[in-house]
Chain A
Amino acid sequence: RKEVEQDPGPFNVPEGATVAFNCTYSNSASQSFFWYRQDCRKEPKLLMSVYSSGNEDGRFTAQLNRASQYISLLIRDSKLSDSATYLCVVIGGYSTLTFGKGTMLLVSP
């Protein structure tokens, strides 16, 4: 089983739609969780951290279920500019990031 698994997509949605991505991780000792966004041929950029209590940042909501080892990202009211690859990231020791393969989102007019 891969350490971090994501559906690669692509997810094709119209502007204004709500879309959700899921991610599972295998190491129950994982300590911290994040979503990064990566535009085509660019570097990953931190989108948001994921907390056990769930957290929201504008149109984005992230949730963590430690019992099921599952992380989610919900995007409401999708914009064209949301088109990107969303990377699920898990941290073990020493701040090393373990990335999923990413889920591609394409938002169309």
Chain B
Amino acid sequence: GAVVSQHPSWVICKSGTSVKIECRSLDFQATTMFWYRQFPKQSLMLMATSNEGSKATYEQGVEKDKFLINHASLTLSTLTVTSAHPEDSSFYICSAPKGGLAGGGFGPGTRLLVL
């Protein structure tokens, strides 16, 4: 099945620093990847769609200058949380569709804690 990895699995940082999260598709190529955010006891909320070779598409209310997305290759997308603040603390999960089917694989998530 589809395998998607994320790195790091968790990170603690000081307020004001930037954090980069990587999402990789391990056994397939993904021209599109999705970034979600999940707060405790809440559902996954789509933040943005990462497109290889073009700009990311952000959902309404998501600041593109704060959450920088770079789809560097067909197997790698990165999400950089710039100038992180405590309210950015959350569980960030990426997904990569495979074979055109809905869903595909989700990464294991990255837990971010901003102090």
Partners in one complex: no
